[in-house]
């Protein structure tokens, strides 16, 4: 079993030494737990792809603790990107920018752009500073599976390949970061909804952000149309519709409305209808339902606003519409 360590200074130093040697460490961020390796070490990057069973065409997010790394890792930084860094870093926002020669091609899957993020979790920042190098850190799960929001989720997913897991408690945001790319005019576009809402970004930039189409050839991390899936078959339905319960079915519910009867298990990700709370609870609730040996899980789509976009994005990528 992989060791789960308290994130004290001695264990952070131990984890940093593992990373400097080319090892892998699972670390907490405010979004989800990440599987971290030295972003400037191609051998460490190759181990991330191998341990996660991640296809090499799916690029990684590079995490930094200091803005000085942006200048080192990127060749062009649009003015709008600097505005967003000033306002939302550290936090759940990833920016895709033209990469410098310092970034190994493996980190970007051969693409000319690198995805950068500065996490806000104190353990992630402490580890980054202790290592002294950027860390590539995709979600600490097997590729395509549910993302981990606790150290135990990581431990359940892997029996080997990781040097240790730093336990920073449950993730406070609970869904992956929002990913933005930039056009030739320097204006951003949405590559993946996530833990920072589109409305918050638009409010700061005072402009509307267009969405990039989902492609089977990802141009950024998390760009595949099928992703974030439990082992149990997962189906979604629109709010206001009454799903039919059947034997060994689980229900992922949202809001204060009465819960339909007849389900073996029910997880309400926010009984008060709070989308921030729902995002924080989403993956933990799906992990719990997925562990019950159910025949299927039915998931209610939430309002398509704020963090609801990120929640619905994860549900749609992880399942099929009910009836198909």
For residue range 11-65, list pLDDT tens digits in order.
999 999 999 999 999 999 999 999 999 999 999 999 999 999 999 999 999 999 9
Q: Has residue 314 got a pLDDT over 80?
A: yes
Statement to judge: residues 242 and 301 lie in one domain: yes
Q: What 8-state DSSP symbol labels residue 248?
A: T
The answer to whether 225 and 288 are in contact (CB under 8 A) is no
pLDDT of residue 307: 96
Is 229 contained in some domain?
no
Among 236-245, 299-308, 311-320, the minimum mean pLDDT is found in 236-245
Determine the average pLDDT of the residues in 106-131.
97
Q: Quick one: pLDDT at residue 30?
A: 98
Residue 255 structural domain: 234-321
Average pLDDT over residues 69-76: 97
Sheet arrangement for strand 296-300: 265-268, 249-253, 296-300, 234-237, 320-321
SS3 content of the chain, % helix, strand, coil (to 5): 30, 20, 50
**Sorting pLDDT into bands at 50, 70 and 90, what band is 184?**
confident
Residue 146 lies in a domain: yes
For residues 31 and 126, membership in a common domain is answered with yes
Q: What is residue 323's predicted lDDT score, i.e. its pLDDT? A: 45
The mean of the pLDDT values for the chain is 92
Number of domains the chain contains: 2
253 beta partners:
268
What does the DSSP 8-state code read for residue 295?
S
Say which CATH number the domain at 100 has: 3.90.870.10
Specify whether 241 is located in the same domain as 193.
Answer: no
Between residues 11 and 221, the one the model is more confident about: 11
**Which residue has tokens 């992989």?**
2
pLDDT surpasses 80 at 227: no
Comparing 38-52, 70-84, 195-209, 231-245, which segment has the lowest mean pLDDT? 231-245
| Boundary (domain end) residue, out of 211, 245, 272 | 211
Q: Residue 224: what pLDDT?
A: 63
- 69 within some domain: yes
285-291, Cβ contacts within 8 angstroms, sequence gap of 24 or more: 285/252, 286/146, 286/230, 286/234, 286/252, 286/318, 287/146, 287/148, 287/149, 287/153, 287/230, 289/230, 289/232, 289/250, 289/252, 289/265, 290/146, 290/230, 290/231, 290/232
Question: Are 191 and 247 in a shared domain?
Answer: no
Does residue 305 surpass a pLDDT of 50? yes
Structure confidence by residue, pLDDT tens digits, 240-267 = 777 878 778 999 999 999 888 899 999 9
Both 122 and 266 in a single domain? no
Beta partners for residue 113, in sequence order: 98
**Do 103 and 145 lie in a common domain?**
yes
User: What integer pLDDT is reported at residue 216 of this predicted model?
Assistant: 57
Q: Which of 211, 244, 273 is the last residue of a domain?
A: 211
Whole-structure pTM over 0.95, yes or no? no
Determine the pLDDT at residue 324.
38
Any idea what the CATH number is for the domain that residue 299 is in? 3.40.50.11030
215 pLDDT above the threshold of 60: no
Name the pLDDT band for 211 (thresholds 50, 70, 90).
confident
* pLDDT at res. 214: 56
Nearest to 180, CA basis, from 95, 87, 61 = 95
Q: Within this chain, do residues 268 and 169 fall inside the same structural domain, yes or no?
A: no
């Amino acid at each position: 079993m992989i060791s789960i360590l308290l994130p004290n200074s001695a264990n952070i130093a131990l984890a940093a030494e593992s990373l400097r040697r080319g090892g892998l460490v699972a670390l907490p961020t405010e979004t989800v737990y990440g599987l971290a390796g030295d972003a400037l070490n191609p051998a460490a990057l190759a181990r991330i792809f191998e341990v996660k069973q991640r296809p090499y065409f799916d690029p990684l997010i590079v995490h930094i603790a200091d803005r000085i790394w942006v200048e080192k890792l990127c060749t062009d930084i649009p003015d709008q990107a600097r505005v967003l860094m000033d306002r939302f870093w550290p936090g759940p926002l990833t920016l895709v920018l033209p990469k410098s020669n310092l970034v190994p091609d493996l980190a970007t899957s051969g693409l000319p752009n690198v995805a950068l993020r500065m996490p806000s979790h104190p353990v992630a920042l402490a580890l980054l500073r202790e290592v002294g190098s950027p860390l590539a850190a995709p979600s600490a799960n097997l590729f395509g599976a549910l993302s981990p929001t606790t150290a135990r989720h990581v431990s359940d997913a892997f029996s080997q390949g990781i040097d240790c897991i730093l336990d920073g408690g449950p993730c406070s945001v609970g869904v992956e970061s929002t990913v933005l790319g930039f056009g030739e005019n320097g204006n951003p576009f949405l590559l993946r909804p996530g833990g920072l809402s589109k409305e918050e970004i638009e409010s700061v930039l005072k402009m509307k952000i267009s969405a990039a189409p989902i492609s089977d050839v990802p141009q950024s991390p998390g760009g595949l149309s099928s992703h974030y899936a439990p082992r149990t078959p997962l189906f979604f339905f629109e709010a206001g519709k009454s799903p039919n319960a059947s034997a060994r079915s689980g229900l992922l519910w949202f809001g204060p409305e009465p819960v339909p009867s007849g389900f073996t298990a029910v997880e309400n990700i926010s009984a008060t209808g709070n989308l921030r709370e729902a995002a924080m609870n989403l993956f933990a609730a799906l992990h719990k339902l997925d562990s019950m040996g159910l025949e299927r899980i039915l998931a209610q789509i939430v309002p398509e606003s704020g963090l609801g976009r990120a929640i619905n994005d994860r549900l749609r990528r992880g399942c099929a519409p009910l009836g198909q």
